[in-house]
Chain A
């Protein structure tokens, strides 16, 4: 099993739609979880950290389920500008490294 797996995608959704991405991880000792966004050929940028209690930032909501070892990202009212690849990032087995998932590509269509 890979350390971090994500929905394969791509997701093609109309503007205004709600879309959810899932990510599973294998390291039960992981303490840090993040969602990053990457535009084509650009550097990844932090979208949000994921806390045990879940967190929300505007149209974006992240959830963590430690028992099932998955995190999720919900995007409401999708905008064209949300089109990007979304990367799930989890603390690695060494406790000081990070493991990125392969990413899920989202295309929001007019």
Chain B
């Protein structure tokens, strides 16, 4: 089954404790992206990757890191989480950036930083 998976689905952590949210897709997609969704602000793009070893900042990259060592994986790293990073996070992938290719989203990771 074609899908985007994220782990963990739910995470409660404390300020400053490094964490990684994994994202994996099995569709051989080139383009992958991370978003966060907050009430009243909608979905905002954190980082995206056009292909292996190519990553770029989105609209809200501060406090986040990503890597794209393999085509299928695109982990999101929070080196020192803070409470303002409490949010719902979505990973997405698409075949390429070419116009018209839809993004497939993972089920989301709900992160709470206390």
Task: Check B108 for interface membership: any CB of A closer than 8 A.
Answer: yes
Closest residue to A93 on the B side, CB-wise? B59
How far apart are the CA atoms of A65 and B108 in the complex, in Å? 33
Chain B residues in contact with chain A, CB under 8 A? 33, 35, 40-45, 48, 50, 56, 58-59, 88, 90, 97, 99-100, 102-103, 105-108
The listed residue (B42, B58, B108) touching A101 by CB distance below 8 A is B42
B105 touches A44 (CB 8 A): yes
A68 at the interface (CB under 8 A from B): no
Interface residues of A (CB under 8 A from B): 31-32, 34, 41-46, 49, 51, 87, 91-92, 94, 96-103
Q: Please give, as numbers and ranges, the residues of chain A lying within 8 Å of B48 by CB-CB distance.
A: 96-98
Are B45 and A98 within 8 A (Cβ)?
Answer: yes
Bound CA–CA A34/B44 (angstroms):
15
Q: What is the total of A-B residue contacts with beta carbons within 8 Å?
A: 56
A102 to B40, CA, bound (A): 7
Decide: B90 and A43 in contact? CB cutoff 8 A. Answer: yes
Interchain CB contact (< 8 A) of B100 among A32, A87, A94: A32
Q: How far is A60 from B42 in the complex, measured between Cα atoms in Å?
A: 23
CB-nearest residue of chain B relative to A103?
A: B42
Closest CB-CB distance, A28 to chain B, in whole Å? 16
Q: Which residues of B contact A96 (CB under 8 A)?
A: 48, 50, 56, 97
Within 8 Å by CB of A98, from B56, B103, B106, lies B103
Shortest distance in angstroms between A57's beta carbon and chain B's nearest beta carbon? 13
Top 8 nearest A-B pairs by Cβ distance?
A43-B105, A100-B43, A46-B102, A102-B42, A32-B99, A100-B42, A31-B99, A49-B100
